[in-house]
Homo-oligomer: A and B are copies of this chain.
Amino acid sequence: MVQKPSIPKGTRDFLPADLVRQAYVSDVIKTHFQRYGFLPIQTPAMEKSSTLQGKYGDEGDRLMFHVLNSGEKVKKADTEALANNALGRFTQSISEKALRYDLTVPFARFVAQHQHELRFPFKRYQMQTVWRADRPQRGRFQEFTQCDADVVGPIGPVLEAEFVHLFDDVFHGLSLKDCTIRINHRGILAGIAAYLDAPDRIVDFTVALDKLDKIGAKGVAEELKQKGFSTASISKLTPLLSLSGSVADQLDSLTTLLADHQQAFEGIDHLRTLLSFISPLRVSHLAFDLTLARGLNYYTGIIFEVSPPQHIRMGSIGAGGRYDNLTELFGLKGINGLGISFGLDRLCLVLEELDLFPKHLAQSIDIVVLHFGDAYMRALLPHVARWREEGLRVMCYPVDHKLKKQLNYANQIGSSWVVFYGEEEMKKGLVSIKNMDTGSSTMVKPEFVSTSLGTI
């Protein structure tokens, strides 16, 4: 049966030209990760469901991809649960594994599991695919690559400053200007929840606040009202949503408003210390964003989120923050964590939109060896082997198609040179080389091909 070839929605194929660009971005990220002293790790694509479930809030549980148990094991399907619409229980009865939803929870599991093999502070980077059953849209895929750098162990202000600089260095490395690194602090959010007389409602409050961009101040007020916040509480929010001035100015205003709330005070103090560590010359734009709450459940201190330049319509291209209790879920107490993540796919889209990819990236074949018959090709192969040893990327055209067709092909795939080796060349013990850009050509001994290329 013939099938129409296609792939699942929200997934992508990468052609060579796509991958060359993706590799350019990921190499820049990796280089900077390494310069900041991060070491690479990898974790499995499939984790035990119990490792992932309940770590990302309700949305995360809903959007997780579950892997069906193999073979006979699906017989254990809990059809009663299915009949009762208990889909979670039904899923559990036929699936014990799920695909990575992010790199942070697997990292926490990794740290707890390998704690005796690691030295703390442990700085790791990880660049792997994650999967989310989210509705696909521009810049949002069901399968995408995250590039994370995290540190676990003792944490001081220098580390937080370094993460801001790391964001900045990567954007600078990509010639990407005018990104905004937005910061907030969970302590401030907790202080505000207390200030609104709802100290135990911080999650409800931050979930609503996180939507300010989408539904506006009125919408947030409406949502809080529905969630049972009093009108008096909600009205106290107004001055908080209209802070202005520099980050330092906004923190000053907040101090005045939230002076009675210890958690907020600590959060503000924390951000002030961070500011003192950040070289003002280096950072794209640093902004304080009170509405920044991050959907994920595990953040406990500072929160980062990076927006692309304003005229690019796309969600965040980077994010991160402090999480202090995450490894405890896996039995390892007293370990603090701090990290950031780059969205590789979105970064590529942004660079494409801004035309920031270097022009030379496409070139990836140096020589196409034209085919004038198996006997000539056979005789030339040992020389081809030497050119490759010398580092050249050489493709042998596989059959003796017409010359025009072969030249056309070499041109289309962007080969820099072609090599001719036919009757005349064999007689003379030479090969002809043609520069595909200039059209100029020359004959040389096969031994001297790689040294001759620059001269024609």
Q: A residues within 8 Å of B by Cβ?
A: 1-8, 11-16, 19-20, 23, 32, 34-37, 39-48, 50-51, 62-63, 65-68, 70-72, 74-75, 77, 79, 82, 85, 87, 90-91, 94-97, 99, 109-110, 112-114, 117-119, 121, 123-124, 129, 131, 133, 142-143, 151, 153-159, 161-162, 165, 169, 273, 276-277, 279, 282, 328-332, 364-365, 368, 371, 374, 377-378, 381-382, 385, 388, 391-399, 401, 409, 412-413
Within the complex, what minimum Cβ distance (angstroms) separates A281 from chain B? 9
**Nearest CB in chain B to that of A47: its residue:** B7
With both chains docked as a complex, state the minimum distance between the C-beta of A183 and any C-beta of chain B, in angstroms.
Answer: 18
Q: In the complex, A137 Cα to B311 Cα: how many Å?
A: 53
23 contacts between A and B (CB under 8 A): A2-B330, A5-B332, A7-B44, A8-B46, A8-B48, A8-B96, A13-B110, A14-B43, A15-B41, A16-B40, A37-B395, A62-B70, A65-B68, A65-B70, A68-B94, A70-B133, A75-B82, A154-B398, A159-B398, A162-B396, A273-B374, A279-B382, A282-B385
B381 touching A131 by the CB < 8 A rule?
Answer: no
Q: How far is the CA of A169 from the CA of B394 in the complex (A)?
A: 14
CB atoms of B388 and A36 under 8 A apart? yes
Q: Nearest CB to that of A159 among chain B residues? A: B398
* Measured CA separation A368–B158 after assembly (Å): 13
Could you tell me if B112 and A5 are in contact, using CB atoms closer than 8 angstroms?
yes
Task: Give 14 new A-B contacts, CB below 8 A, not counting A15-B117, A158-B396, A158-B398.
Answer: A7-B47, A8-B97, A13-B44, A35-B393, A45-B131, A66-B67, A74-B87, A79-B82, A119-B409, A121-B398, A123-B395, A158-B377, A158-B381, A282-B385
In the complex the two chains form, is A161's CB within 8 Å of B50's CB?
no
Task: Verify A398–B39 contact, CB threshold 8 A.
Answer: no
Complex Cα gap A121–B413 (Å): 10
B158 engages A371 (CB within 8 Å): yes
Complex contact A20–B40 (CB within 8 A): yes
B13 touches A113 (CB 8 A): yes
Are A398 and B42 in touch, CB under 8 angstroms? no
The residue of chain B having its C-beta at the shortest distance from the C-beta of A22 within the complex is B42
The 7 closest A-B pairs by CB, nearest first: A37-B395, A11-B44, A16-B39, A5-B113, A70-B133, A5-B330, A14-B42
- Are B63 and A66 in touch, CB under 8 angstroms? no
A413 vs chain B, min Cβ distance (A):
5
